[in-house]
Structure 1
Amino acid sequence: MKRAFFYLPCILLIVVALSQILITQRQGFLTPAKGGGFGMFSTVDKLNNRVISVYGLFGEKKVKIRIDPSDPSFQKNFDKKWQRARAYPSDEHLLALGKALGNLKLSQTPTHLFIEVKKCHFDSEKAVVDYQQVNSLSVPFRKSK
């Protein structure tokens, strides 16, 4: 019995390590630092390097909507959903952000909002930093009540 307790911490650490590695492999939008923790220095995909772009769809026309995160109304209404969508851009979190963005005051009313999350990527062969799309979603634009 004593011997089993001796190996228990090792077994638990191995189980946690394998589950974290599996999570980062299966969920393509988690950063190694957030999802697995073992590759935090092997990538430039950090939370602060992720970009969310919001576009209004007016028929066939796609117009970028400028959103200022330092605006107090943004911080009051959207900040938590914005951070959640940036950290874990699942369809569920992008949809929640899109619904919250229904409170935006726009000069024209779009039919849909197109939300796109991109991550920073370093191409070691070309020695170039660019952005790759992690996830995107089109959400019907409805004014929140």
Structure 2
Amino acid sequence: MSARRAEVRKRVADRRRALLYEDVGNQRRARHLADVERRYRDGECTVYPNRITIALDAGGHEGPEVDAACLAAEPAVDQWEAGQAVPTWEQLVALSELTGVAVEFFLDPPDNDIGPGWSCGDGGCRVVLPHAAIAPYGSTGPPPSLTLIAGVTDGATK
């Protein structure tokens, strides 16, 4: 067998393996989200209003468009942020999709929660959230323990 043919077979096998692992990962995520949804609907976890504000601010989301994207009528999202009302599961998922932050970020924080923070360097400062807060929609996901949500330099969001 030629070296080229062996290389092609190896790439095909690697791709099949990657697709299998991605499918297994998606199935695990789906089961996990179903469990989180059950806990939310049963009242076993609480929405933290400040987390909604953090995610919306970090992404630069504001105004009536946020309410529409979250399947809610104005001023529902403002009421969620103030702790005067709570979103439905479907609205919470829509908020997660809008902000790119995992649904779990809005719920009970883990015991070791470090919360959001700032990362500053020569290029300015950036708002960062713990790796666990970032929605795992990609097959690779963000590798560092802190992932950039919005860049801030000289007071302007990038």
Structure 1 or 2: more strand by fraction: 1
TM-score when scaled to structure 1? 0.27
Higher relative contact order (CA 8 A, sep 6+): 1
Structure 1 or 2: more helix by fraction: 2
